[in-house]
Amino acid sequence: MKFNAERTVQRILLAIAFSALSALLLIALFIFNEGLPFIFRYGLKNFLFSSDWLPREGKFGILPMVEATLWVTLGAMAIGAPLGISVAVFLTEFVPRSVMKIVKPMIELLAAIPSVVYGFLGVMVLAPIIRDHLGGPGLSVLAGSVILGIMILPTVISISTDAILAVPQSYREGSLALGATTWQTTRMVTVKAAKSGIIASVILAMGRAIGETMAVIMVAGNTVRSPHSPLDSVRTLTANIALEMSYATGLHRQALFATGVILFLVIVCLNSVAMIAVRRRMGSR
């Protein structure tokens, strides 16, 4: 029997792909198996919309942590998304390609920095500045938003840059030939043509911000209460799981897995929307 190297390699790669997918499915099944029974027993409404998180008393309302997660995530997007998109536009349209090829990989290296380092900088540098100049404890929604806003920059910049570079050069040349300036061409033609890719980068960055744990634990303050100001200390959903899972038992443990179910579904939805946006961009080319 003749040995077919190409087919063998294809089968090996297929097996690796299926093993990765199987691992993901097993993780999802484990989380749902542990969390869904609690949601059905306790009630989704009571779980999501109750403000009392008192495990010793059998109260498992995650509303304050849902609100905290939304506040911190939206704050991070308000900081990171405009800055990341602006940097991507600047790198692709207003600097030489030789400079972009140097700067872009350097920016992407920010994603390799451990989140605990960002958290440490937030605790030692950012929190004291907030406390001294704006008031409050320093460890707050604002501190978490700023740190996460910095952490999502590589995602927004990298994907947005690739989306803008994918716009055909003929679009730019046609606009310039009609008398538009470079800025008008960038704003009205290039960015609009790359809109779906840019939106995908923002959505993926949002999923990154929602799922971040260590940096948020260090800089958000970890107080279980609904935020009323950016200077309030809060605890996000991921931080709550990380802080309490080590000693949780019984219903308390199941409630933390149920929180993981909620986070899993939210991130899957965000990633699905991002994939749809990317496919639309690829289909429109």
With CA atoms as reference, report the closest residue to 77 among 130, 140, 145, 143: 145
Residue 114, token pair as written in the block? 């451990």
- Domain residues of the chain, as ranges? 44-284
Question: Dihedral through CA 179, CA 180, CA 182, CA 185, nearest 10?
Answer: -130
For the stretch 16-62, pLDDT in tens is 888 888 888 888 899 999 899 999 999 888 999 988 999 988 889 99
How much is the pTM? Answer: 0.86
With CA atoms as reference, report the closest residue to 186 among 79, 80, 91: 91
pLDDT class of 280 with cuts at 50, 70, 90: low
Q: Is the pLDDT of residue 217 over 90?
A: yes
Q: What is the pLDDT of residue 267?
A: 85
CA 73/CA 212 separation, integer angstroms:
10
Which ranges constitute the DSSP H helices of 166-222? 169-177, 182-185, 191-193, 195-211, 214-219
pLDDT class of 1 with cuts at 50, 70, 90: very low
**44-284: CATH homologous superfamily?**
MetI-like (1.10.3720.10)
The rounded mean pLDDT for the chain is 88
Beta-carbon contacts of residue 140 (< 8 Å; ≥ 6 apart): 127, 130, 219, 220, 221, 230, 231, 232, 233, 234
Q: What is the pLDDT of residue 278?
A: 65
Q: What is the pLDDT of residue 281?
A: 58
Grouping H, G, I as helix, E, B as strand and the rest as coil, residue 203 is helix
